[in-house]
Chain A
């Protein structure tokens, strides 16, 4: 069973880490954009609504 495992080379690990960081940054940026745009378009009063 040990032979079935794929072990990544150093360059593959480094590349994967780089891609993961880039995806994380893009996701965070997208969340921030949607958050800020929501406030800009709807105004701060979006938080003052009856529950």
Chain B
């Protein structure tokens, strides 16, 4: 399961670009600071490699393997 903490995200798009399975997508949704937060588009594809969690400069992505 992938959770994105919208309050922490600064919309750098690293997760969208570097997820090997392209789980994330750019969304139209702005957070309260005016950044476009990513959208977890195809969560079923996720294999839980945690690359996004570790690449995220903001601690905004939480991957839980279930």
A and B physically associate? no
Chain B residues proximal to chain A, CB less than 8 Å: none
